[in-house]
């Protein structure tokens, strides 16, 4: 089993180092990750400028590369670099992200975006996050990530992305694991003027509020100190309303 690991916090972030170490006990692990912070890049790719790659050392990884591109670039680049060397990648992991990726976060997340890019490319993928930007408790997330090898590989289409979120708590303080749907939380973010010589604006605001729809939704489950696993799919078609919209009689 060969696993590629990427992230959006950068190759030196503690989350990716922890995940590589955990996965390396079950598989040969390869890394291609951004050379710095790339949060919020979603599934964007680099089109009009060059990407530069250099080899790095990451404990537990057979080979590791840092790239100047986005997380999605790194997923594609890592697969290509490995396959150019005759190494067939079986699964792609993104994480561990420093901060949760719940509900609408998945639209913006570079972590989820990298996993989606792998899925689009035909590889089974897993996104892993811990609910704190100062996360230190990775054990529960790592345990679930490793379990996905046996529970996901060869058992689902590559279009299914497993999105793992764990509280930033010691394993024995986490209530359990919930299989969840995407929940919703509401942000009051806005662009705030920056008061320095350069000026400009920077996005800021309070943490998101949410409605408690129950632990079948990822936002609520994590708030109640459960780890969550949410199966995602990159088909954005609104199947619930498709039949009604199909009745429209439109002409040009």
DSSP assignment of 173-232: GS--EEE-B---EE---EEEE--SSS--EEEE-PPPEE----TTBHHHHHHTT-EEEEEE
CATH code for position 66: 3.40.1210.10
Look at 40-54, 58-72, 131-145, 177-191 and tell me which has the smallest mean pLDDT. 177-191
**Within a domain: 191:** no
Q: What is the DSSP letter of 36?
A: S
% of the chain surpassing 70 pLDDT: 99
**Within a domain: 194:** no
Strand pairing category for 61-67 and 53-56: antiparallel
Q: Tell which wins on pLDDT, 171 or 203.
A: 171
Q: Quick check: 190 pLDDT over 90?
A: no
**Within a domain: 157:** yes
DSSP SS3 for 143: helix
Q: Give the integer Cα–Cα distance in Å for 173 and 170.
A: 5
241's tokens:
């309303």
Q: Tell which wins on pLDDT, 167 or 203.
A: 167
Helices 71-84 and 110-120: crossing angle in degrees, nearest 10, is 40
Q: Quick check: 155 pLDDT over 70?
A: yes
Q: What is the pLDDT of residue 213?
A: 84
Q: What is the pLDDT of residue 161?
A: 98
Q: Give the integer Cα–Cα distance in Å for 18 and 59.
A: 9
Q: Choose among 210, 235, 61, 74: nearest CA to 131.
A: 210
**Within a domain: 198:** no
Q: Choose among 167, 103, 176, 182: nearest CA to 132.
A: 167
Q: Give the integer Cα–Cα distance in Å for 140 and 142.
A: 5
Q: Give the integer Cα–Cα distance in Å for 110 and 195.
A: 28
Quote the pTM value: 0.94
Report how many domains make up the chain. Answer: 1
What are 19-29's pLDDT values in tens digits? 999 999 999 99
What are 3-24's pLDDT values in tens digits? 999 999 999 999 999 999 999 9
On average, the pLDDT of the chain sits at 95
Q: Quick check: 209 pLDDT over 80?
A: no
**Within a domain: 26:** yes
**Within a domain: 252:** no
Could you list the residue range(s) of the whole structural domain that residue 34 is in? 2-185+212-246
Order of strands, edge to edge, in the sheet holding 2-6?
A: 53-56, 61-67, 28-34, 2-6, 91-98, 124-130, 160-166, 227-233, 177-179
**Within a domain: 204:** no
What pLDDT band is residue 193 in, cutting at 50, 70 and 90? very high
**Within a domain: 190:** no
Residue with tokens 């303080």: 173
What are 56-81's pLDDT values in tens digits? 999 999 999 999 999 999 999 999 99
Q: Give the integer Cα–Cα distance in Å for 16 and 74.
A: 13
Q: Quick check: 207 pLDDT over 70?
A: no
Q: Give the integer Cα–Cα distance in Å for 144 and 166.
A: 9
Measured over the CA atoms of residue 100, residue 150, residue 154 and residue 66, the dihedral's sign is positive
């Amino acid at each position: 089993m060969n696993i590629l690991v990427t992230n959006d916090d950068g190759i030196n972030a503690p989350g990716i180092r922890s995940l590589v170490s955990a996965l390396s006990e079950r598989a040969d692990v390869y890394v291609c990750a951004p050379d710095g912070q790339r949060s919020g890049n979603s599934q964007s790719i680099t089109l009009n400028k060059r990407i530069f790659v250099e080899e790095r050392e990451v404990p537990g990884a057979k080979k590791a590369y840092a790239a100047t591109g986005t997380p999605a670039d790194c997923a594609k680049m890592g697969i290509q670099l490995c396959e150019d060397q005759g190494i067939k990648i079986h699964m792609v992991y993104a994480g561990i992200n420093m901060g949760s990726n719940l509900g609408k976060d998945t639209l913006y997340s570079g972590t989820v975006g990298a996993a989606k890019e792998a899925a689009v490319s035909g590889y089974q993928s897993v996104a892993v996050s811990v609910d704190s930007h100062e996360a230190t408790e990775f054990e529960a997330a790592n345990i679930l990530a490793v379990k996905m090898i046996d529970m996901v590989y060869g058992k689902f289409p590559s279009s299914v992305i497993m999105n793992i979120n764990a509280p930033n708590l010691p394993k024995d303080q986490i209530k359990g694991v919930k299989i969840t749907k995407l929940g919703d939380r509401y942000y009051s973010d806005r662009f705030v003027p920056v008061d320095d010589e350069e000026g400009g604006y920077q996005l800021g605001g309070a943490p998101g509020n949410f409605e408690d729809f129950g632990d079948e939704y990822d936002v609520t489950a994590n708030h109640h100190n459960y780890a969550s696993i949410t199966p995602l799919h990159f088909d954005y078609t609104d199947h619930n309303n498709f039949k009604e919209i199909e009745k429209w009689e439109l002409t040009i």
